[in-house]
Structure 1
Amino acid sequence: MASIASIPAMKARTLTVMSTRSQDQELVCEVASKHGLHDGKTLLSPPLALRDQGRIVPSFGWHPWFSYQLYDDTVSNPTYDGTPAGKIAHYDRVLAPTPSSKDASFSDGLCDPQPLSEFLDETRRRLEKYPLALVGEIGVDKAFRLPVAWTSAEETSREEGHTPGGREGRRLSPYRVQITHQAAILRAQLELAGRMGRPVSVHGVQAHGVLYDTIAGCWKGYEKEVLSRRQKRQIATGAEDFSDDTDEDSEHDATPNRKGRPQKLAGDSNKGTKPKLFPPRICLHSYSGHVDQLKMYIHPSVPTKVYFSFSMAVNWGTGGGEKTEEAIRAIPDDRLLVESDLHIAGEQMDNSLEEVCRKICQIKGWDLRGGVEILGRNWREFVLSDSK
């Protein structure tokens, strides 16, 4: 929060600011109330002319790192019943390995789980308050391990200014959040975004198959019909083409499965019979998947527009530069976004954004001015949809 005061002087026109856990939801609201972007028209004004307004698009979500703190109270057998014993039972069910079998005191040091329905209601109210707000950051992460509890010495030496609830250099425990629990929390937030018609920012680490399956499960039954070349020719000419064109027919008449191979469309029998429970636009932030995986998201049958953003801190800071550059070359120009993925605003964030813009322009072979215009237009269309 100490860096918020530097936002009005930043070179970046507007920042999309993510919440992640209970402690920062209201802080994002606080920042948006002072610096929030209220409509797309103000994006045409230069940054320094605005100063204290029109610089922030808030985003409200529960990150997978903290998903263990929620329990799904919408199911018939919730993992938590509100008792001390129920707290231990909840963490035994959603964490692996089972904490009570390794360290009986570990779960005691964790917070009491919160009901998922309550968080969703709070998020819905925040989205109503901020009409341009997104849902995020949400997702799945197989690599994350919970930090251990604070020691008394660590508590006294904590740096001021950090939002509570983060790791802040604590050692990591052996415990991970069960991927099925993460996927359930993700699915609930995706469905909320679908009901509210809001874009989402999605985190995915070492779980790209689960991530795709969870997102695709939301749009099942709404896949777009994709015509083969033969069908397109028939429509264009008004006559049937009886030529044996098997190879061409099989090129675009299917949706990809999670391994990138096509499977026949299930049809659209569900269309019009239930509300859309998938977001209108999705950003896979600091994308770390392979080219074959990203192709599943940009297949013509996918009924939502999926974007891919990249950051210097993650995509090049963790040694994945070659894979990242291969992915960037394969992504359509209108699906690319940039980000800092930093928690400190100001000059450091501006520099990080400039560096990733230059990097993507170099990879794509764009001139710098033209490339920045493309990236800016992509961001406006991701956040606002109809902004040009």
Structure 2
Amino acid sequence: MTKKQLHEPLYNLSDNHCHFSPEATREDAYKLADTLNGLDLDFPTNFFHLMTTQHIDIECIDILLTQLQNPDIVVPYFGVHPWFSHLFYTGTKPNKRDHYCQVLKPEPTDELIDVLPEPMSMNAHTDKMKEIIKKHDKKVYGIGEIGLDKLFRVPKSGWLGNPHHVTTEQDRLTKSRVTIEHQMHIFRHQLQLAEELGKQASIHCVKAHGVLYDEVTRYKNIVVVLHSYTGSTDQAKRWLKTTPVKLYFSLSDWINGEKDELLKLLVYFKKSTTTNT
């Protein structure tokens, strides 16, 4: 087998949902760039669709794009994941305690408030994203990972990967959840950004498929990527009947690969659409 034949499958595939680990540091971003630069592989353009989720990994993606010998193998995505949405605010900067007592229910303990950072501005985060895009002259990028999650509970560390609270108990969960109202504020801010830019949005959803559908379908200038889709087959049919939404389902074999009915539905829809066009 020739080297070209060995690597041929890569030219027909792309990984559309990579992440930095919540524990990723700036040093890790340099190491990742060194690893990719050292691989004897000719990755296709736009092979890695790399998500950000919060305020730390947005710096990591800047470093990676700077250090890669071929930065065009990466499609960067910029977003605040619902698991980190409590760290951010829209509008006027709030008082720290007031903010967290409002967006977390039941209200956080004093210990949790102490380890949480000062709330961060979504507008400032968006400005940082735009600076990185301009710096690297990126034409192909997306908004993500964003979305809604009704099950997530805030860890004792304040957020996953908090570098200032590394203990054996940092990933143990509190009783506090981010209110769906606050998640929606952060989600809507980012959907409006995707609409403004005409970009695809990589969307996370757990137990909130109805309200998410109602919100997302208000925007007509975005491409919707429902990654690791966990909704019902009936909800998938609802999505498929919605026009003119530009829609992709991203399926994880580990999470939802056993949903034969859903997979058959999507394959049938793809074939029937292709036939009709």
**TM-score > 0.5 by shorter chain:** yes
Q: CA deviation at 1:333?
A: 6.9
Q: CA deviation at 1:3?
A: 4.1
- TM-score, length basis structure 2: 0.74
Residue number in structure 1 paired with 2:119: 113
Contact 1:20 1:63 in 2 (8 A): yes
TM-superposed deviation, 1:287: 0.6
CA distance in 1, matches of 2:263, 2:107: 40
CA-to-aligned-CA distance 1:232-283 (integer Å, 9 cap, x gap): xxxxxxxxxxxxxxxxxxxxxxxxxxxxxxxxxxxxxxxxxxxxxx41x111
Deviations 1:188-240 (A, max 9, x none): 11111111111111111111112112212334xxxxxxxxxxxxxxxxxxxxx
Structure 1 residue 11: Cα displacement: 8.1
Judge conservation of contact 1:287–1:308 (CA < 8 Å) in 2: yes
Q: Structure 1 11/212 Cα, relative in aligned 2: closer, same or farther at 3 Å?
A: farther
- Structure 2 vs 1, CA of residues 306 and 175 (structure 1 numbering), >3 Å: closer, same or farther? same
Query: Is the Cα contact below 8 Å between 1:139 and 1:203 reproduced in 2?
Result: yes
* Cα distance in 1 between the residues matched to 2:57 and 2:163: 8
Number of residues of Structure 1 aligned to a counterpart in Structure 2: 232
Task: Indicate which of 223, 234, 239 corresponds to 1:292.
Answer: 234
Structure 1 residues 112 and 313: CA distance shift in structure 2, 3 A: farther
What is aligned with 1:62? 80
- 1:205–1:26: structure 2 CA closer, same or farther, 3 Å change rule? same
1:140-183 deviation line (CA, Å, top 9, x unaligned): 11111111038xxxxxxxxxxx7948999621111110011111
Partners of 1:7 and 1:116 lie apart in 2 by 31
- Structure 2 residue ranges without an equivalent (≥5): 1-27, 272-277
Corresponding position: 1:142 with 2:150? yes
Structure 1 145/287 Cα, relative in aligned 2: closer, same or farther at 3 Å? same
User: Structure 1 residues 204 and 170 mapped into 2: Cα distance closer, same or farther (>3 Å)?
Assistant: same
Distance 1:164 1:327 in 2: 40
Q: Name the residue aligned to 1:92.
A: 101
Which of 65, 71, 95 is 1:32 aligned to? Answer: 65
SS in structure 2 at match of 1:331: helix
Match of 1:105, SS state, is: helix
Whether 1:16 and 2:45 are equivalent positions in the alignment is no
Residues 24 and 163, structure 1, Cα contact 8 Å, conserved in 2: no
% identity of equivalent residues: 33
Q: 1:53 to 1:3 in 2, by over 3 A?
A: closer
Give the Å deviation of 1:112: 0.4
Q: Does 1:330 align with 2:272?
A: no
| Residue identity matched to 1:329 | K
Residue 3 and residue 125 in structure 1: after superposition, are their counterparts in 2 closer, same or farther (change >3 A)? closer
Q: What is the one-letter code of the residue matched to 1:213?
A: D
- Equivalent residue, structure 1, for 2:138: 130
Q: What is the deviation of 1:334?
A: 8.4
Deviation at 1:4, TM superposition (A): 4.3
**2:201 counterpart residue number:** 200
Instruction: Check conservation: 1:95, 1:176, Cα contact below 8 A.
Output: yes
3-state SS in 1 of match to 2:203: strand
Letter matched to residue 52 of structure 2:
S
| Offset, 1:94 | 0.5
What amino acid sits opposite 1:209 in the alignment?
G
Q: CA 1:304 to 1:114, structure 2 compared with 1: closer, same or farther past 3 Å? A: same
SS at match of 1:22: coil
Conserved 8 A contact 1:88-1:108: no
Select the structure of larger CA radius of gyration: 1
Q: 1:121, CA displacement in angstroms?
A: 2.4
What amino acid does structure 2 have at the position aligned with 1:61?
Answer: G
Runs of 5+ in structure 1 lacking a partner? 36-50, 151-161, 220-277, 336-363, 365-388
Q: Secondary structure at the match of 1:282?
A: strand
2:256 alignment partner in structure 1: 315
Equivalent residue of 1:213, what SS? helix
With the length of structure 1 as denominator, give the TM-score of the two structures.
Answer: 0.54
SS in 2 for 1:326: helix
8 Å CA contact 2:217–2:245 kept in 1: the answer is: no
The one-character-per-residue Cα deviations of 1:33-62 (angstroms, maximum 9, x if unpaired) are 344xxxxxxxxxxxxxxx745321111111
